[in-house]
Structure 1
């Protein structure tokens, strides 16, 4: 096993070599060393042209003079070395290590992990071995054209293929069911579901945003008319900022709302920095609000400019992004962010929905913070339309029993 160790401290390099040999005595190791990033980059650049890379593993310290770990990451990301398994080590705090991990993964490098000093070599070796095993066990697959692609997205986007699910929102303090967010899927007969992360980018590239949203709105409204009791709950439809640039779309939504005034429609705005602050977008939002269609700001906190939007647009609610919520009972920084958002919303008299609530612990934390509403897998995953009424009846029955029993 050929290993390149990059660290500016000689004794660290010696410890790594000794402990690797101890943890895997039956493995023949060949070590090469570098005391800085620049030397490591030179070594990596000297691979013979007839081989993709000359090392089975690179272990690199993050903080060094004459080329740090980031320099090595950048070099590997743009050369044949990008496939080499990479271990980053550092004495930095956990947040910094997470940042470096995110940066490395964004380059699609073969990252084994980011480990904090002092090093646990058995843990590192086990991670390397596990990654190697996964790679070897993965069957070689021929390249297939995705079921949903830029060539067929236009033909796939129709009422027959569109499939809607509904994820409930509850009032945290009482458990009362207050509404549902509509989530779309494409369902190709015989091939199963295609989820939004696969088809939404294709829809956007093809300029079909408005067509998709109109299909979702029409189908969801039809679902709400099937059962009178569904009209007790708010129906939230996602729209994108680019939707707001179409006058035809804006008028379509307003006409649908006026024709279905007995349904409590809400629009959840997934915004983008490029369009949300444009005059046309702001005018579109104003038209919706004037016509009694409340607006929710989705994924609040992800964009640095969300405070500007909260100041300029009278949103009815904001939805805290799930990345801040899903671990707030363990992540003190996320807990502080969520607390601040809730406090700000309360002062502005804006309702708050926490997305990504996956445990009772998280829901209890949100209750103590004064969060109004919650949504997430702890309450329920998205529900197919055909099961919606039975889920509602079951949920309400359990809630009544809970409160009846004190």
Structure 2
């Protein structure tokens, strides 16, 4: 792992270098430093860091301006903000980076604590490992797949789901998985969803992808050890004229299908035909399928959608979960969502749990389930067994079970 420390204050810079030298895992192969954003940009013409430790208030070019330039370079590494600025500034900068599609994995107030720094570097390492197969260079980013190429990929079975586990925050037990579509390209490797999903959606393949995921889940049943898997569908898919019919046809050959899959409905589309959506949702519920509302609070008419369809659980979007420790606003939104789920007797799921601090905070708030890189990155079905063994040891070692 290569690290670039951007810090104008010599004492702070040396202190961070000393802390980094004490961290044995993840292994740091090279560290370079810069005293300003401009110096960092010059250095990055020849040095390609995996992680940036970036101060905000610096001479010549401050950290905020530097991050703006960084977005134009399509920087794909992890960013840790180190600053003495107040939490409002830190939270705003993190939101700016999100809009720039920069990967900010945390913000540390000065003086930097080695325990927090190590935890964030471990998270950066997990991000790096999960993306090692993703080809994210400019060639790929500029690669435009044609509809014909994607149809061919579907026919060849190159487009299929990876799986990210969901675990119980009370005791760490593995409860279910979410199926996340990936393109396993024979030459380019595992491609990020942004490189192909928008066109597939434009091609109106959402319902086909959901059915493809279900068929693949059925073919990989031993990997899940009887646990259900969530399949993402949009309201448009729910209103698709033949989606439920085809699903129920599959269920005829697999009588326990409703115990093997459930559906997370994203808020990417508005409900254009409430009657049709209710018809489909009612048929799914009648046949025992559970529905979860995904990315709660980020899309169209969240509360209206929650009131309209028969949901079983509510997943709080990672854009609220991740900044909980540094943002009072985000923490209040999460608490409000959890209170709402409790009042409506829905299971609550926190998405984007990436540190042990978030895990313990959500435990205290009585959230039911957690999902995120602290637990596991999305993976092929065949890796779930090894992950489960490792995760059980982690639960014991880090005493993740609730003490209450």
Post-superposition Cα deviations, 1:228-247, rounded to whole Å, max 9, x if no partner, equal x621x121111122112223
Cα 1:98–1:390 shift into 2, 3 Å: closer
1:164 and 2:161 correspond? yes
State the Cα distance separating 1:170 from its structure 2 match.
0.6
Cα 1:247–1:298 shift into 2, 3 Å: same
1:148 and 2:142 correspond? no
Q: Check whether the contact 1:257–1:265 (CA below 8 A) recurs between aligned residues.
A: no
1:298 and 2:289 correspond? no
Q: C-alpha separation between the residues in 1 aligned to 2:369 and 2:146?
A: 37
Q: C-alpha separation between the residues in 1 aligned to 2:192 and 2:272?
A: 25
Q: Check whether the contact 1:170–1:177 (CA below 8 A) recurs between aligned residues.
A: yes
1:379 and 2:375 correspond? yes
Cα 1:387–1:147 shift into 2, 3 Å: farther
Q: C-alpha separation between the residues in 2 aligned to 1:372 and 1:306?
A: 20
State the Cα distance separating 1:103 from its structure 2 match.
11
Cα 1:283–1:389 shift into 2, 3 Å: same
Post-superposition Cα deviations, 1:313-337, rounded to whole Å, max 9, x if no partner, equal 2210010000100121111110000
Aligned twin of 1:195: 192
State the Cα distance separating 1:155 from its structure 2 match.
1.9
Q: C-alpha separation between the residues in 1 aligned to 2:348 and 2:200?
A: 29
Q: Check whether the contact 1:299–1:319 (CA below 8 A) recurs between aligned residues.
A: yes
1:349 and 2:351 correspond? no
1:326 and 2:318 correspond? no
1:174 and 2:171 correspond? yes
Which sits farther off after the overlay, 243-252 or 294-303?
A: 243-252
Q: Check whether the contact 2:181–2:193 (CA below 8 A) recurs between aligned residues.
A: yes
Which sits farther off after the overlay, 248-257 or 349-358?
A: 248-257
Q: C-alpha separation between the residues in 2 aligned to 1:385 and 1:58?
A: 46
Structure 1 runs of 4+ aligned residues shifted over 4 Å read: 95-106, 140-145, 397-404
Corresponding residue SS for 1:158: helix
Q: C-alpha separation between the residues in 2 aligned to 1:391 and 1:186?
A: 22
Post-superposition Cα deviations, 1:179-217, rounded to whole Å, max 9, x if no partner, equal 111111111112101222221110011121122221111
Aligned twin of 2:360: 364
* Candidates 236, 244, 254, aligned match of 2:238: 244
Aligned twin of 1:94: 89
Q: Check whether the contact 2:325–2:358 (CA below 8 A) recurs between aligned residues.
A: yes
Cα 1:395–1:159 shift into 2, 3 Å: farther
State the Cα distance separating 1:94 from its structure 2 match.
3.2
Q: C-alpha separation between the residues in 2 aligned to 1:288 and 1:197?
A: 29
Instruction: Structure 1 unaligned segments of length 5 or more: list them.
Output: 1-22, 24-56, 60-81, 84-92, 107-139
Matches within 5 A, 1:31-42: none
Q: C-alpha separation between the residues in 2 aligned to 1:383 and 1:335?
A: 29
Corresponding residue SS for 2:325: coil
Cα 1:364–1:148 shift into 2, 3 Å: same
Aligned twin of 1:113: none
Q: C-alpha separation between the residues in 2 aligned to 1:316 and 1:58?
A: 50
Question: RMSD value over aligned CA atoms?
Answer: 3.8
State the Cα distance separating 1:273 from its structure 2 match.
4.1
Cα 1:257–1:354 shift into 2, 3 Å: farther
Q: C-alpha separation between the residues in 2 aligned to 1:330 and 1:244?
A: 37
Which sits farther off after the overlay, 383-392 or 196-205?
A: 383-392
Aligned length: 289
Q: C-alpha separation between the residues in 2 aligned to 1:96 and 1:356?
A: 16
State the Cα distance separating 1:400 from its structure 2 match.
6.7
Q: Please, what TM-score do these two structures have when normalized by structure 2?
A: 0.63
Aligned twin of 1:183: 180
Cα 1:323–1:96 shift into 2, 3 Å: closer
Q: C-alpha separation between the residues in 1 aligned to 2:252 and 2:391?
A: 31
Corresponding residue SS for 1:247: coil
Q: C-alpha separation between the residues in 1 aligned to 2:92 and 2:308?
A: 36
Q: Which one scores higher on RCO, CA 8 angstroms, separation ≥ 6? A: 2
Aligned twin of 2:247: 253
Instruction: Structure 2 unaligned segments of length 5 or more: list them.
Output: 1-35, 37-59, 63-71, 74-87, 102-136
Corresponding residue SS for 2:220: helix
Matches within 5 A, 1:1-400: 94=89, 98=93, 101=96, 146=143, 148-158=145-155, 160-224=157-221, 226=222, 230-231=225-226, 233-262=227-256, 263-275=259-271, 278-303=274-299, 305-396=301-392, 399=395
Corresponding residue SS for 1:352: strand
Larger Rg: 1
Post-superposition Cα deviations, 1:357-399, rounded to whole Å, max 9, x if no partner, equal 0000001111111111100000111121121222224434654
Q: C-alpha separation between the residues in 2 aligned to 1:333 and 1:168?
A: 28
